[in-house]
Structure 1
Amino acid sequence: MDTPGGKYGGETAAQRKAQRRGRLISAALDIVADGGAGRLTVRGVCGTARLNDRYFYENFSDCDQLLLEALEQEMAQGVEHLLGAVGAAPAEIRAKVRAAVEAAFDFVVADERRGKLLIAAQTSEALRPRRDELIRSLAQIMSIQSMELLDSRHLSESDAELAGLSLVSGGLEVATMWLRGELSASKKHLVNFIVALILTTAEMSTALERELTD
């Protein structure tokens, strides 16, 4: 029932619009998880969300924008989860690295749709630029949170950036291969391996000094 405050059934128009938007994003995640990003159509999304297509265009211009905003939503939640885990971990660098890696894996596997979306981000032209931005953002977080690990006293800013990008992009690729079922390693083993790999960057300044000094 409408009220003077513009509410219907106790909800404002803005709240109802936000709910419809959430249903469309959730429907997109369901479809991507079931058949890949190539299966996304306006009709399919609206059918899954049980909404008229006019509500689709109320929120998105096309399926590419919907897919991009679905990724944005999951990325924001994932980064928040990761930073919370790192912030709650003991100050010792090994504990923070493990907290970050475990939090990242736990977040992705908690909803299988996230893993499918991560896989889609590798091949979708609409998602690839945002995936590259994600890698840079996570590399920056790593650099800020783990200055001791990257040994910034001896690494130049550009080398610290290269270290973070190499670790994040490589780790993301391995994780995606694991999600596709292409690796036989258990989640526990993969987490331990990536933690160990990241911790080896503590030796990077010595290696760089040896290899790059002419």
Structure 2
Amino acid sequence: MEGQRVYGGVSGDQRREERRARLMAAGLVCFGRDGFAATTTRSIAAESGLTQRYFYESFSGIDDFFAQIVHELGDEWRAKITDAIAAAPPRLPDRLRAGVTAYLKVIHRKPYIARILLVEAFTVAPTVKQVERFLSAMGTVFQEMIAEEFPAKSKVVSDRDALATGYVGAVHHIALRWFRSQFSEPLEKIADVITKLIEGSISGYGAQRTSPPAR
């Protein structure tokens, strides 16, 4: 079997993984530059320097390919956000700012990724479940921060599901507007706006904080 053959010290499985990585990198460029509708297996193969035969070695078609890209990007994005929150000081404003800043840094540093995650993934049928999965995970992050910060019987905790949904939507739409403006304002300003928006909403509940959660 090819996966068991070794050429130049590299197995068939390793070569397949390398080809897949090249195709995925090419997909980021093509989808981010041209959009899903204008991207084809031919253009991806050309961008990667591989033939279309190798595309079908790893993917069943363009829909499957795009869904896998969105899935992997979403997982990486979520990991960066949760890691930033975990490393932040225990106060809610600090944790919020850390998470929001990590969210914004991903799209600011790599505009191709911004278009894929903020625009294309929301308009392509194969990625609807991936988008919902990511948004649900982000909502859970907000819910957990609220639950850790406020007494269990407070109104802000009882309404945390609806609040988290609203916060996720607000973050997405502010980030989308920022992306479409070609990042015309500093990242720090956008992070500050989002943090104050969420903090102001929570303060509107008159919630009394508990002591900072143990870290």
**TM-score band, normalised by shorter chain:** 0.7 to 0.9
Are the aligned partners of 2:20 and 2:58 in contact in 1 as well (CA < 8 Å)?
yes
Counterpart secondary structure, 1:39: coil
C-alpha distance in structure 1 between counterparts of 2:153 and 2:23, whole Å: 48
Pick which of 42-51 and 128-137 moved more: 128-137
Q: Provide the residue aligned with 1:181 in structure 2.
A: 181
Q: Provide the residue aligned with 1:19 in structure 2.
A: 18
Identify if the C-alpha distance between structure 1 residues 50 and 86 changes in structure 2 by more than 3 Å, giving closer, same or farther.
Answer: same
Counterpart secondary structure, 1:37: coil
Q: Provide the residue aligned with 1:125 in structure 2.
A: 125
Q: Which amino acid aligns with 2:135?
A: I
Structure 1 residue 114: Cα displacement: 0.9
Pick which of 17-26 and 183-192 moved more: 183-192
Are the aligned partners of 1:150 and 1:160 in contact in 2 as well (CA < 8 Å)?
no
C-alpha distance in structure 1 between counterparts of 2:25 and 2:80, whole Å: 19
Unaligned runs of 5+ in 2: 208-215
Are the aligned partners of 2:143 and 2:160 in contact in 1 as well (CA < 8 Å)?
yes
C-alpha distance in structure 1 between counterparts of 2:151 and 2:204, whole Å: 8
TM-score by length of 2: 0.85
| Coordinate RMSD, CA, aligned | 2.6
Unaligned runs of 5+ in 1: 208-214
Structure 1 residue 206: Cα displacement: 4.6
| 1:43-99 alpha-carbon deviations (Å, 9 max, x no partner) | 111111111222211211111111111111111111111111111111111111111
Structure 1 residue 178: Cα displacement: 1.4
Structure 1 residue 151: Cα displacement: 5.7
Q: Provide the residue aligned with 1:39 in structure 2.
A: 38
Structure 1 residue 40: Cα displacement: 1.4
Structure 1 residue 7: Cα displacement: 2.2
Q: Provide the residue aligned with 1:212 in structure 2.
A: none
| 1:4-26 alpha-carbon deviations (Å, 9 max, x no partner) | x6322222222211111111111
Identify if the C-alpha distance between structure 1 residues 81 and 30 changes in structure 2 by more than 3 Å, giving closer, same or farther.
Answer: same
Q: Which amino acid aligns with 1:69?
A: Q
Counterpart secondary structure, 1:126: helix
Q: Which amino acid aligns with 1:38?
A: A
Are the aligned partners of 2:77 and 2:103 in contact in 1 as well (CA < 8 Å)?
yes
C-alpha distance in structure 2 between counterparts of 1:183 and 1:171, whole Å: 15
List aligned pairs for 1:137-176, cutoff 5 A: 137-149=137-149, 152-155=152-155, 159-176=159-176
Structure 1 residue 150: Cα displacement: 6.4
Counterpart secondary structure, 1:61: coil
Q: Percent identity of the aligned residues?
A: 23
* Number of residues of Structure 1 aligned to a counterpart in Structure 2: 206
Counterpart secondary structure, 2:93: helix
C-alpha distance in structure 2 between counterparts of 1:80 and 1:185, whole Å: 25
Q: Provide the residue aligned with 2:194 in structure 1.
A: 194
Are the aligned partners of 1:143 and 1:161 in contact in 2 as well (CA < 8 Å)?
yes
C-alpha distance in structure 2 between counterparts of 1:54 and 1:181, whole Å: 39
Q: Which amino acid aligns with 2:16?
A: K
Which structure carries more relative contact order (alpha carbon 8 Å, separation 6+)? 2
C-alpha distance in structure 2 between counterparts of 1:142 and 1:66, whole Å: 30
C-alpha distance in structure 2 between counterparts of 1:17 and 1:146, whole Å: 45
C-alpha distance in structure 2 between counterparts of 1:34 and 1:12, whole Å: 33
Structure 1 residue 127: Cα displacement: 2.3
